[in-house]
């Protein structure tokens, strides 16, 4: 066996000496005793980087894993940042989901805040992330922390930070917090009293539920059949309570996924977008009386995202999962119909359809970088969505994506359409006829070696494609350079010329590394003019063929 470098052993032993968690202490002690070079090197190759997504990573011992020692340092850095910003006596609200170690990380955070002289309040139990985002504004806090890894694999956890406006941190706050985290020399320097913080009661959840009433129109339709899955997460009780308050029939909850379970035993990844994740929900819908289920709804484990499926007769599943862009457009159209005013916003990787919906209603429209940390800051925001199943339908209540209120609003829309003898798919067809078919797809590559992502981005920058699917690249933006409208970010955007003879109006491609997962993500959109409903099948076929060709050419250009 190779000799483990003495410096690595020394670092591991120093970490072990101050690790407050018996589980990770035991894990690390065994690795040191076994002189497991690979495992130790992976855990001590650096530190988890604190950025605009906060922290997220695999649970385990060492500075490159999520554990109590890393969380205590992160909390100490946040506390120092707040004190240096003149908010040293303010309130920090802490929420958490049902993943492994989430409750421990929440308590450690509260203890660090109190030890630093701030006040801290912890949500009463594992609750959806939107409840935490709401509580920050509702309680007048100076910051909030949500312990969650959202839809990541079971062995992950994360640490999401909000400031007092209820939105997630953006630069330069992230760098300021990271600088103060790095300044923490020893956990012995971080006071952590065993008491002194408040555990909130159910009143905060009641206030959130009362706020959900604001997203619906009094007297709108309520006759609707819904199958719902919380995907082993924390959304069920809150969503069911919100449905009851609204007067919707109780949704049929997928029994196998109803209870919070950090192992997520029925899914490979607890993300409604992943293949197979919705299978049990579709099976539950098929088990009901024919015609009794109108839509299927899913939340991700922390219930800040919302997935929707519609009947698809003739397909094996009998249901079709709507893309985030489709739900985003449906909600935009519904809000326009309800007379909403204010800015409609989405991200640079989402469909351009909403820009046309907003323009048709003479509403302001804005595009931001990916993530609700940016969307929430759109001037005069009324509605925002991103293609990754995130929707903000009540920014005055929750300045972040909210899978509970989004579920309420899409259910109201489905009920209204049902009363008119139509469905969500019918409205999508109408939008395509009015604004053109905006067909989207994604090329997503998950890697073990992050250098593959960097290599693909470098290859595309050094040898940018001049055409994709036979469509000329008319403009290539390196988003690293930033612009007057967008801060710099690691991404590339290509605008493609149309092909009138082929019935293609235009196309667009955006390539970027994921901010939360080891993935390279490529977002594709093709726009096809549609004269009338009879032309839709042909338009969809053209779009699908073009998207498939773009995928093939882009994959070759990126070498992935």
Asked if residue 450 has pLDDT above 90, the reply is no
Residue closest to 463 by CA, chosen among 451, 448, 473, 449: 473
> What ranges make up the beta strands (E) of 431-491?
437-446, 467-468, 471-478
- Residue 33 falls inside a structural domain: no
Residues 244 and 163 in one domain: no
pLDDT attached to residue 502: 87
Q: Which structural domain, as residue segments, surrounds residue 446?
A: 436-558
Three-state secondary structure readout of 184-250:
CCCHHHCCCCCCCCEECCCHHHHHHHHHHHHHCCCCCCCCCCEEEECCCCCCHHHHHHHHHHHCCCC
- Residue 32 falls inside a structural domain: no
Residue 377's domain is classified under what CATH number?
Answer: 3.40.120.10
pLDDT digits (tens, 9 = 90+) for 362-380: 999 999 999 999 999 999 9
Please tell me whether residue 142 adopts helix, strand or coil conformation: coil
Residues 332 and 477 in one domain: no
Please tell me whether residue 518 adopts helix, strand or coil conformation: coil
pLDDT attached to residue 10: 92
Residues 148 and 276 in one domain: no
Residues 184 and 273 in one domain: no
Q: How confident is the model at residue 547 (pLDDT cuts 50, 70, 90)?
A: very high
How far does CA 456 lie from the centroid of its chain? 24
- Residue 44 falls inside a structural domain: no
Last residue of a domain, one of 412, 432, 452: 432
Last residue of a domain, one of 164, 183, 201: 201
Residue 495's domain is classified under what CATH number?
Answer: 3.30.310.50
Residues 65 and 79 in one domain: yes
Residues 403 and 516 in one domain: no
- Residue 30 falls inside a structural domain: no
**DSSP assignment letter at 349:** T
Residue closest to 120 by CA, chosen among 55, 196, 181: 196
- Residue 487 falls inside a structural domain: yes
Please tell me whether residue 379 adopts helix, strand or coil conformation: coil
Residue 279 parent element (H or E): helix 279-287
- Residue 260 falls inside a structural domain: yes
Burial class (CB in 10 A: 0-12, 13-18, 19+), 77: buried
Asked if residue 154 has pLDDT above 50, the reply is yes
Q: Would residue 150 show up in a list of annotated catalytic residues for this protein?
A: yes
pLDDT digits (tens, 9 = 90+) for 486-503: 999 999 999 999 999 889
Residue closest to 71 by CA, chosen among 113, 14, 128, 29: 113
- Residue 412 falls inside a structural domain: yes
In whole angstroms, give the CA distance from residue 255 to residue 95. Answer: 26
Of 102, 150, 350, 351, the active-site residue reads 150
- Cis preceding-peptide flag for 188 (omega within 30 of 0): no
pLDDT attached to residue 1: 41
Q: Are 330 and 430 in contact (CB under 8 A)?
A: no
Residues 347 and 249 in one domain: yes
Q: Are 401 and 327 in contact (CB under 8 A)?
A: no
Asked if residue 3 has pLDDT above 60, the reply is no
Asked if residue 39 has pLDDT above 80, the reply is yes
Give the position of tokens 């925002």: 384
Residues 132 and 93 in one domain: yes
pLDDT attached to residue 283: 97
In whole angstroms, give the CA distance from residue 280 to residue 547. Answer: 29
Angstrom CA distances, 14 to 32, 49, 227, stand at 11, 20, 51
Residues 476 and 522 in one domain: yes
- Residue 197 falls inside a structural domain: yes
Count of domains forming the chain: 3
Residues 317 and 377 in one domain: yes
pLDDT digits (tens, 9 = 90+) for 199-249: 999 999 999 999 999 999 999 999 999 999 999 999 999 999 999 999 999
Residues 254 and 335 in one domain: yes
pLDDT attached to residue 4: 53
Could you tell me the two tokens for 238? 């809150």
Choice between 142 and 517, residue whose per-residue pLDDT is larger: 142
Asked if residue 172 has pLDDT above 50, the reply is yes
Q: Are 410 and 243 in contact (CB under 8 A)?
A: no
pLDDT digits (tens, 9 = 90+) for 287-340: 999 999 999 999 999 999 999 999 999 999 999 999 999 999 999 999 999 999
Residues 237 and 173 in one domain: no
Q: How confident is the model at residue 2 (pLDDT cuts 50, 70, 90)?
A: very low
Last residue of a domain, one of 201, 229, 249: 201
Length of the chain equals 560
Q: How confident is the model at residue 51 (pLDDT cuts 50, 70, 90)?
A: confident
Provide the percentage of residues in the chain whose pLDDT is more than 70.
99
Q: Are 21 and 29 in contact (CB under 8 A)?
A: no
């Amino acid at each position: 066996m190779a000799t483990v470098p003495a410096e690595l052993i020394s670092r591991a032993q120093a970490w072990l000496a101050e690790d407050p968690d018996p589980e990770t202490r035991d894990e690390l002690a065994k690795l040191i005793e076994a002189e497991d070079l690979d495992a130790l090197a992976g855990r001590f190759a650096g530190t988890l980087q604190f950025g605009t997504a906060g922290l997220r990573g695999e649970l385990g011992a060492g500075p490159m894993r999520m554990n109590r020692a890393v969380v205590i340092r992160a909390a100490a850095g946040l506390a120092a940042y707040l004190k240096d910003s003149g908010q040293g006596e303010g309130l920090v609200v802490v929420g958490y989901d049902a993943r492994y170690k989430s409750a421990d990380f929440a308590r450690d955070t509260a203890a660090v805040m109190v030890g630093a002289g701030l006040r801290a309040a912890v949500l009463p139990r594992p609750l959806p992330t939107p409840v935490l985002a709401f509580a920050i504004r509702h309680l007048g806090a100076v910051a909030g922390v949500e312990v969650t890894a959202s839809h990541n694999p079971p062995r992950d956890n994360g640490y999401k930070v909000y400031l007092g406006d209820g939105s997630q941190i953006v630069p330069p706050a992230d760098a300021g917090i990271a600088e103060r985290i790095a300044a923490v020399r020893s956990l012995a320097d971080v006071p952590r009293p065993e008491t002194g913080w408040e555990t909130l009661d159910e009143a905060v959840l009641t206030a959130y539920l009362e706020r959900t009433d604001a997203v619906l129109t009094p007297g709108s339709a309520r006759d609707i059949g819904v199958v719902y899955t919380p995907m082993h997460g924390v959304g069920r009780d809150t969503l069911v309570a919100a449905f009851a308050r609204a007067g919707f029939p109780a949704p049929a909850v997928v029994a196998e996924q109803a209870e919070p379970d950090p192992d997520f035993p029925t899914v490979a990844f607890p993300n409604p977008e992943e293949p197979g994740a919705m299978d049990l929900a579709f099976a539950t819908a098929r088990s009901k009386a024919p015609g009794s289920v109108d839509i299927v709804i899913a939340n991700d484990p922390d219930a800040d995202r919302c997935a929707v499926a519609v009947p698809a007769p003739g397909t094996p599943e009998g249901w079709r999962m709507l893309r985030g862009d489709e739900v985003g457009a449906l909600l935009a159209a519904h809000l326009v119909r309800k007379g909403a005013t204010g800015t409609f916003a989405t991200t640079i990787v989402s469909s351009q359809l909403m820009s046309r919906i907003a323009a048709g209603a003479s509403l302001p429209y804005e595009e931001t970088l990916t993530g609700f940390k940016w969307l929430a800051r759109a001037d005069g925001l009324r509605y925002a969505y991103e293609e990754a199943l995130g929707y903000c339908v009540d920014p005055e209540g929750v300045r972040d994506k909210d899978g509970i209120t989004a579920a309420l609003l899409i259910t109201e829309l489905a009920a209204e359409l049902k009363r008119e003898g139509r469905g969500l798919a019918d409205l999508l067809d109408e939008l395509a006829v009015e604004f053109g078919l905006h067909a989207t797809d994604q090329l997503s590559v998950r890697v073990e070696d992050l250098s593959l992502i960097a290599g693909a981005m470098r290859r595309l920058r050094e040898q940018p494609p001049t055409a994709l699917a036979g469509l000329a690249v008319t403009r290539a933006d390196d988003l690293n350079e930033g612009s007057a409208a967008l801060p710099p970010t690691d991404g590339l955007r290509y605008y493609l010329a149309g092909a009138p003879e082929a019935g293609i109006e235009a196309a667009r491609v955006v390539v970027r590394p994921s901010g939360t997962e080891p993935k390279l993500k490529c977002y594709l959109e093709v726009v096809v003019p549609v004269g009338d409903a009879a032309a839709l099948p042909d338009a969809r076929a053209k779009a699908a063929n073009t998207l498939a060709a773009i995928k093939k050419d882009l994959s070759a250009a990126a070498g992935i």
